[in-house]
């Protein structure tokens, strides 16, 4: 961290800043800029959390220069991580696909969806039993009944189950049924929830917050890892921007950024990322081309009857077409040396 002083900061202001840094056991180094003095902080910058440095007289701003997350960083762990969910490897040789309805609506709907998902070649069945809806009047999910149907669908198809947990009280229950827990965009900075899923022993799919920076997202992963769970997979699902044509703005550059900054696998959700089923195919292909380790896509046996997110849900036919393309694209990229994205490959 460096602390940039105002142009009119006095010698006393600088001495006060240095004293504050030294008082928490860190070292301070003053550098002369062209017009301003800069105080560098050396040591664990976490200790600076208790120093309200930006409120001190003569300080213009403080700027973090080393990363606040460690366990999630590639600096800390240069080799890309593979997260194993049973016999499925996320971050390994083949892209992993998690597909299924937005919400578990009924036993019949889920079974039909699960058969379609399995047929198309995905490894995971997704489906929300606890739905974090914007309106309290919208369908909220079947809760434990929904979890039971998901577990039954796993027995039926052999697919792994990923489903969202929205509150700490439900973690134990969701863990009884699911192979992987999903933390949704709205809960990405629910630090109490992150700490608890870090202790539950199941792999976690961490979606990017609606308005989260990449740094905040990786810090959220750090919370889970710091609680003892190294099995975190990141999921880019679009962020809020001024654009209204799409539901969110799918930040494809986040895939390349995560690959550089972190060793964790990253997948992309083009369904929530665009809000439009027509855009799912091009964005799914773009995700694989950008180096994503997999995809999450919403598929419904009859999107026009879906209780949530029908407009972005794929029909069985569209889903199968996309799966075929993804398989071909991924193997072509692997077979063609000029298309390899990462030096370590």
Residues lying near ligand PEP in the complex (CB under 6 A): 102, 128, 132, 164, 184-186, 207, 237, 272
| Residue span binding Mn ion (CB under 5 A) among the ranges 168-176, 224-232, 303-311, 326-334 | 303-311
185 binds, among ligand PEP, Mn ion, none (CB under 5 to 8 A by kind): ligand PEP
The closest alpha carbon to 205, from 250, 252, 161, 258, belongs to: 161
CA distances to 69, 115, 179, 217, 308 from 189, in Å:
14, 34, 22, 8, 24
207 binds, among ligand PEP, Mn ion, none (CB under 5 to 8 A by kind): ligand PEP
237 binds, among Mn ion, ligand PEP, none (CB under 5 to 8 A by kind): ligand PEP
Beta strands, E only, the chain: 2-5, 27-32, 37-42, 59-63, 83-85, 88-90, 96-100, 124-126, 160-164, 180-183, 204-207, 232-236, 266-268, 294-298
235 binds Mn ion (CB under 5 A): no
Strand 88-90 with 83-85, pairing: antiparallel
What residues contact 343, with CB distance under 8 A and at least 6 apart? none
318 binds, among Mn ion, ligand PEP, none (CB under 5 to 8 A by kind): none
Question: Least distance to ligand PEP from the beta carbon of 207, Å?
Answer: 4
Give CA angle at 92 (315, 66), nearest 5°: 105
Contact with Mn ion (CB under 5 A) among 164, 236, 269, 309: 309
CA distances to 21, 260, 304, 345 from 337, in Å:
50, 20, 43, 10
Site for Mn ion in 79-138 (CB under 5 A): 102
299 binds Mn ion (CB under 5 A): no
Report the DSSP beta bridge partners of residue 239.
249
67 binds, among Mn ion, ligand PEP, none (CB under 5 to 8 A by kind): none
Nearer CB in complex with ligand PEP: 14/90: 90
Question: Least distance to ligand PEP from the beta carbon of 247, Å?
Answer: 9
269 binds Mn ion (CB under 5 A): no
CB closest to ligand PEP, residue no: 184
Question: Least distance to Mn ion from the beta carbon of 320, Å?
Answer: 20
Question: Least distance to ligand PEP from the beta carbon of 225, Å?
Answer: 20
Nearer CB in complex with ligand PEP: 88/102: 102
Question: Least distance to ligand PEP from the beta carbon of 251, Å?
Answer: 13
92 binds, among Mn ion, ligand PEP, none (CB under 5 to 8 A by kind): none
Nearer CB in complex with Mn ion: 102/205: 102
Nearer CB in complex with Mn ion: 51/239: 239
The closest alpha carbon to 88, from 193, 217, 179, belongs to: 179
What residues contact 131, with CB distance under 8 A and at least 6 apart? 102, 103, 138, 139, 140, 141, 164, 308
Give CA angle at 259 (258, 264), nearest 5°: 80
Separation CA 126–CA 117 (nearest Å): 9
58 binds, among Mn ion, ligand PEP, none (CB under 5 to 8 A by kind): none
Task: List residues near Mn ion by CB under 5 A.
Answer: 102, 309
């Amino acid at each position: 961290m460096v602390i940039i002083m105002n142009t009119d900061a006095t010698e006393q202001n600088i001495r006060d800043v240095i004293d504050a840094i030294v008082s928490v056991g860190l070292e301070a180094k003053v550098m002369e800029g062209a017009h301003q003095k800069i105080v560098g902080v050396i040591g664990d910058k976490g200790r600076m959390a208790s120093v309200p440095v930006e409120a001190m007289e003569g300080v213009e701003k403080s700027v973090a220069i080393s990363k606040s997350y460690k366990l999630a960083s590639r600096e800390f762990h240069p080799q890309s991580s593979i997260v194993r969910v049973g016999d499925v490897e996320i971050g390994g040789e083949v892209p992993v696909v998690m597909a299924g309805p937005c919400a578990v609506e009924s036993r019949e709907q889920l079974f039909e969806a699960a058969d379609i998902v399995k047929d198309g070649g995905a490894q995971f069945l997704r489906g929300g039993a606890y739905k974090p809806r914007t309106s309290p009047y919208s369908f909220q999910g079947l809760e434990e009944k929904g979890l039971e149907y998901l577990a039954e669908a796993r027995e039926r198809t052999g697919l792994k189950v990923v489903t969202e947990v929205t509150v700490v009280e439900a973690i134990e229950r969701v863990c009884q049924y699911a192979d992987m827990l999903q933390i949704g965009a709205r809960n990405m900075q629910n630090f109490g929830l992150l700490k608890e899923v870090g202790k539950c022993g199941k792999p976690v799919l961490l979606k990017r917050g609606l308005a989260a920076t990449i740094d905040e997202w990786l810090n959220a992963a750090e919370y889970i890892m710091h609680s003892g769970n190294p099995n975190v997979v990141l999921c880019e699902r679009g962020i809020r921007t001024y654009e209204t044509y799409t539901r969110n703005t799918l930040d494809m550059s986040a895939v390349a950024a995560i690959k550089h900054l972190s060793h964790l696998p990253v997948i992309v959700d083009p369904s929530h990322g665009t809000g439009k089923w027509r855009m799912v195919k091009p964005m799914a292909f773009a995700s694989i081309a950008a180096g994503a380790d997999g995809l999450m896509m919403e598929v419904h046996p009859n999107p026009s009857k879906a209780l949530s997110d029908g407009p972005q849900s794929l029909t069985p036919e569209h889903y199968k077409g996309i799966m075929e393309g993804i398989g071909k694209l991924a193997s072509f990229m692997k077979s063609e040396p000029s298309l390899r994205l990462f030096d370590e490959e």
